Amino acid sequence: MRDKKQTNRRDFFQNVSAGAAGMAFASVLSTLNAAAMAGPQQPDYYDKMDMSKLGNAVREPNVVEFKPWKSIHDTITSPMITAWGSGDIPESRLAIGFAYITKPDTLGGNTHTHEDHDQWIFLIGGDGKNFLEFDAEAEMFLGDKVRKVDYSCYFFIPKGTPHCPLVIKRVGKPIVFIDARISE
């Protein structure tokens, strides 16, 4: 038995980490500390996006013509359209993108947060007849758990909420994916 009283944090962690339970505890603390130190995260796909190719055309005041944009995902082959808020019209605050999904894929990148805006992710039936006719299965990490859906829906992601990836597990009929946010 040790007579010396533990007086500092290093001694505590050395003694705690000596056993298997201590190793697990130290690992959890290390992971939590790394996440806290990292702060807000951006999705890992940002470096793949070529924003220079996003070029909608302002046709007249407050009317913007969509120009097609190629997805960074190989499974999304139809052209995407995106309204890029103030990137299109200086006073516009709505950024919204549309994609047509026909195959399973993982979207949205790694788990991340947005500290400056809320976000909405819509998954709707895309057969062109009935938005509620949804023949797909998807799941997304949101907040504190994975949310599974097999119905038309939207996910509301308040700023600061950890989310993603969005995993489209099965696509029986095409679906429409919409990503929306309002900037300050």
Query: For the segment 138-157, what is each residue's pLDDT rounded down to a tens digit?
Result: 999 999 999 999 999 999 99
- State the pLDDT at residue 53: 59
Residue 180 pLDDT greater than 50, yes or no: yes
Compute the distance between CA of residue 20 and CA of residue 55 in angstroms, rounded to an integer. 56
pLDDT band at 29 (very low <50, low <70, confident <90, very high): very low
Q: Indicate the SS3 state at residue 21.
A: helix
Encode 38-66: b = buried (16+ Cβ within 10 Å), e = exposed: eeebebebeeeeeeeeeebeeeeeeeeee
Kindly list the domain boundaries of the chain, sorted by start residue: 9-38, 46-182
Q: Which CATH architecture has domain 46-182?
A: Sandwich (2.60)
pTM of the model: 0.71
